[in-house]
Amino acid sequence: MDRKCTIIGVAGGTGSGKTTVAKQLVKRIGNDQVKIIAHDSYYLDRSTLPPEEREDINYDHPDAFDRILFHRHLGELAEGRGIDCPIYDYNTHTRSKKAIRIDPCKVLIIEGILVLQDEEAREKMDVKLYVETDADIRLARRLRRDCQERGRTLESVMKQYFEVVRPMHLQYVEPTKKFADLIIPEGGHNQVAMDIIASKINLMLHPPQTPAR
C-alpha cells in the first residue's frame, strides 16, 4: 500500500492524559499537518436498544467498538483519502446522524484506551505510544470529567470504575504496554518525551536528503 499518512497510536488508561499527549504533538509538529481521531468516536451505535440496556453495556471491552468502520477509515486515511468520522453521544450511547469531515493529512493521531489492543489497527501504526499515569490520578480525572462534562453522579462513576473500568484496564489496557514503542510517564507533561517523539515524527516526515555523488 502506498502510505501517504503517518499514523500514531496513543493508548493508556482512562484519564491517563492521552488527549494531552496528542495536543502536545500537534503543537510541536504543526496544526496544518496533523489530525486527531478519538477511538471513542467508533463505539457501536446502540440506538436500537432501550436506554436501560445501553447503560448496562461494557464500554471498556474491545467488543464495544465498530472495528469494521474503524479499520476502513484508517486504511482510507493511510492512502490519502478523507473520511467522515462518526460522532458519538455519551449521554444517549448513540451515534449522531452528523459526522466530522477528516481531510487527508500527513500525520494522524489515534487516541483511546484500546487502540493498541486492536491488532489490525496496530499494524497500520508507524509509532505506538502508551501513556502511564498513577491509578489514583486517573480516577480523579475521570470523576471530574464524567461529573462535569457528562452529567454523571459521583456514585455512578465510582460504581462503574470499580465494577467495570478497573477490571477491564487490568485485563485489556495495561497489557498493551508491551506493544508500545515508547511508554510515557506523566503523559503530555513529560516535556522531554514530547520533544523526542516530535523530533522522531518530524524526521519521518522530512528525512535527510542523501547528497548526490
Residue 116, domain CATH: 3.40.50.300
The count of domains in the chain is 1
Cα–Cα separations (whole angstroms), residue 146 to 33, 86, 164, 172: 31, 21, 15, 21
Q: Residue 66: phi, psi to the nearest 5? A: -85, 85
- Is residue 140 within 8 Å of 23, Cβ to Cβ? no
Asked whether residue 213 is domain-assigned, the answer is no
Cα–Cα distance, 68 to 71 (Å, whole number): 5
User: In a structure prediction context, what are the per-residue pLDDT tens digits for the chain, which is 213 residues long?
Assistant: 456 899 999 999 999 999 999 999 999 998 788 999 999 999 999 999 998 899 889 999 999 999 999 999 999 999 999 999 999 998 888 999 999 999 999 999 999 999 999 999 999 999 999 999 999 999 999 899 888 887 788 898 899 899 999 999 999 999 999 999 999 998 888 999 999 999 989 888 888 776 666
Asked whether residue 84 is domain-assigned, the answer is yes
Asked whether residue 210 is domain-assigned, the answer is no
Asked whether residue 212 is domain-assigned, the answer is no
* Domain with 149 in it: 6-204
Asked whether residue 126 is domain-assigned, the answer is yes
At residue 210, the pLDDT reads 66
At residue 1, the pLDDT reads 45
Asked whether residue 98 is domain-assigned, the answer is yes
Q: Which residues 6+ apart lie within 8 Å of 201 measured at CB?
A: 6, 8, 25, 29, 107, 127
Asked whether residue 211 is domain-assigned, the answer is no
What are the b/e assignments for 102-137, b being 16+ CB within 10 Å?
bebbbbbbbbbbbbbbbeebbebbbbbbbbbbebee
For the entire predicted model, the pTM comes to 0.90
What residues pair up with 34 in beta bridges, in sequence order? 107
Cell of 164: 467495570
Helices (H) and strands (E) in the chain, counts: 8, 7
